[in-house]
Structures are given as structure tokens and as C-alpha cells.
Structure 1
Amino acid sequence: MPPRAARAGTRTLVLGGIRSGKSHHAESILAEAAAVRYLATGPSPEGDDDWAARVHAHRSRRPAHWSTVETPDVAGQLRADAATATLVDDIGGWLTAAMDRVSAWTGGSVTAETDALRTAVDAYRGPLVLVSPEVGLTVVPATAAGRLFADELGTLNQRLAAVCDRVVLVIAGQPVAVKEIR
């Protein structure tokens, strides 16, 4: 399935496993947009050379005319400008940071944050592409924190898919349409 160029008002959720090609596919959807806002949700921790290399690879693929905003406040960014072509990479990183902020690992609730994100995505009127890891394609995590994250991300992915116009699953670099615009 070749990438379909994003149209105004089209919200696309791109799912896939680690190193599946989901980010590359998401970028290709917005490749022809005149201006793109790239919302990077993950931190750039110092001292982690592997992570720094991954961030560098993502940055080097982006066209020079794309703007990058490194932020955990995705919902706020989407509400502040609901028209510019936007790529959010990735929802798993965003969820981890949100769970940290509300102490979800020790009983806090991330519901308000996920509700705000879902509402902002639903209201978005420009081309929007969200990248998220797909959960449930492997063993159940062995730790309570791992299970909590998988449960929260699986629920969030379902909620985002419900308000997105398109959902694509990328496996081994091959995008498979899960949901198309009706």
C-alpha cells in the first residue's frame, strides 16, 4: 500500500512494533505538505548513546522546512493550532511521560490526560498523523508496570482509532490499511 498523501481534516493513526517502519511511513504521508509541525514527545536523555542515535536518525530524515516541537503537551499544541499539517511521534512516549506526571505507576489516573488528547485529536481539522506502538503482539509483560503500560496504551490506541479517519498498521515496513475514510 503506497502512502496516501494527507488531506485537510484527515486524521491518521499509524501503528506498528519497534523498528517496524511506522515513523518512516508516517513521515511519507506528509511528505508533500508545504509546512509540517513535528511534535516529538520523547525526552532526549543525556548519556544514552543508543537513544541519541535513534533521535538523530529521525531528525536527519525530516525535511528542513518542517518545524520540530519537543513537548509532552500534545493536546495543548493541537488545540493551539488545529490546522497545520502535524505529525506526532510517538504516543507511547507521550503516554509514558503522562503516566510519570500523574504517578500512574503507583495508583494515579491518566484518564484526564488521555481524555484531553482524544478530544484534541477529534477536534483537529488539519492533516494529522499520529504514530503509536501497537501492543498485544507479544507476551504479556512480566511486570506490573509493563502490564499497566500495555493496558493503558492498548486502550488509548483504541480510543484514538475511533476518532481517526484512517488507521494503518506497519509490519516489516509494509503498511496495511486497518480503517479507511468512509
Structure 2
Amino acid sequence: MRVLALGGIRSGKSQWAEADIARSAGPDGSVRYVATGAVSAEPEWAERVAAHRLRRPAYWSTIESADVPTQLRDEPGAPTLVDDVGGWLVAAMDRRGAWTDGRITGDVDELVAAVDAFHGPLALVSPEVGLTVVPATRSGRRFADELGSLNQRLAAVCDRVVLVVAGQPLTVKESL
């Protein structure tokens, strides 16, 4: 089952997705955790990353990579959590100069195809547009537009979509 967990900042979407994928893990409980956020020396960001690491069982494998499509294609049946799609989008926009005029259509197509082809338990975590801070800048609006479109495309290929609000999951889509 492919699950897209959406929510605002500090909504509990990552914690919900971690618990959900843990229930879907194999007999050994192992999960591949693909962390897309760039490593930063900023203390507040480092605290967020540390909190995420502390919540995960030590036997989960962590891969720090913005190349999510390759990670999904490499092990398309392994229980996998991607946290988060927004981090992946930032890296893709950086690579393609898409904050101004560059295009990420090919990157998005590749990600959506990799998610669609994935046949094991998969949880994707993504910020929901309008529930996150978006600066009143051209690049901020571009990010929101791209994220909204990406979330819609991912939701179309996922079996389940959940909106997490105050730590509580609200099922938006359920395919049986």
C-alpha cells in the first residue's frame, strides 16, 4: 500500500507515517527511511533532525538522499518511508534552477513513476500547501505551486491519502 501523509508544520504527519509504516513492516520490522532534507549546521534544524532520528527504531536503515526515484527503484518491495517530499522538491528546484525559470517536469514525472511502480509498503510525507509557511516572494509562490501540483499527482497514484491535523489522521482517500 502506498500512503501519502499530508499536513502542516508540526502537525504530527511524520510521527503518524512512522507508526503507519511500522505496522506494514515485514517480520523483522525493518523499514528503509529515506530522509530528503539537506544537512545543515543551523541549530534549530539540527534539533529537528535529531528528534526524527530519536523516534526511529535503531534497526531501521536511514538513507539521506534527495534522489528518491532511484531509492524507490533500487528496492521496490522494501517497506519504505520518505520524509519528506518538500525536501525532495527543494533539491529538485535547486538542481534545475526552478526558483526562477527552470523546469522540473522531468524530475516530477520520474518521482511519480517510481511511486506508481513501487509494490511494497510505502509512506510519503509531504507538507500540504496552505498549511505551511510560504513567503510572499516569487520563489515562495513557485514552490507552493509546484508542491500543490506534485501532491495532487502523488495522491492520484497512492492507495491512501491522509491529512494529519493536530496529530490526528483524517482519511482523504482510501482505495481498497
Classify the TM-score, shorter chain.
over 0.9
Quote how far apart the aligned CAs of 1:138 are.
7.0
Task: Please give the alpha-carbon distance, in whole angstroms, between the structure 1 residues aligned to 2:67 and 2:138.
Answer: 26
- Check the 8 A contact 2:4/2:158 in 1, yes or no: yes
1:35 aligns with 2:26: no
Quote how far apart the aligned CAs of 1:91 are.
0.2
Match of 1:82 in 2: 76
Mark the runs of 5 or more structure 1 residues left unpaired by the alignment: 1-9
Match of 1:25 in 2: 16
Instruction: Give the 3-state SS of the residue equivalent to 1:117 in structure 2.
Output: helix
After TM superposition, the score normalised by the length of structure 2 is 0.95
Equivalent AA in structure 2 for residue 42 of structure 1: G
1:44 aligns with 2:39: yes
Mark the runs of 5 or more structure 2 residues left unpaired by the alignment: none
Match of 2:3 in 1: 12
1:159 aligns with 2:127: no
Quote how far apart the aligned CAs of 1:105 are.
1.1
Match of 2:57 in 1: 63
Compare 128-137 and 30-39 and name the one that shifted more: 30-39
1:137–1:18 CA distance, 2 compared to 1 (3 A): closer
Aligned residues: 172
Task: Please give the alpha-carbon distance, in whole angstroms, between the structure 2 residues aligned to 1:151 and 1:106.
Answer: 13
Task: Please give the alpha-carbon distance, in whole angstroms, between the structure 1 residues aligned to 2:137 and 2:67.
Answer: 28
Question: Deviations along 1:24-63, whole A, 9 cap, x unmatched?
Answer: 00000022422100000001112x0000000000000000
Instruction: Give the 3-state SS of the residue equivalent to 2:136 in structure 1.
Output: coil
Quote how far apart the aligned CAs of 1:65 are.
1.0
Task: Please give the alpha-carbon distance, in whole angstroms, between the structure 1 residues aligned to 2:133 and 2:5.
Answer: 22
Superposition pairs for residues 141-156 of structure 1, below 5 Å? 141-156=135-150
Task: Please give the alpha-carbon distance, in whole angstroms, between the structure 1 residues aligned to 2:107 and 2:134.
Answer: 25
TM-align CA RMSD: 1.3
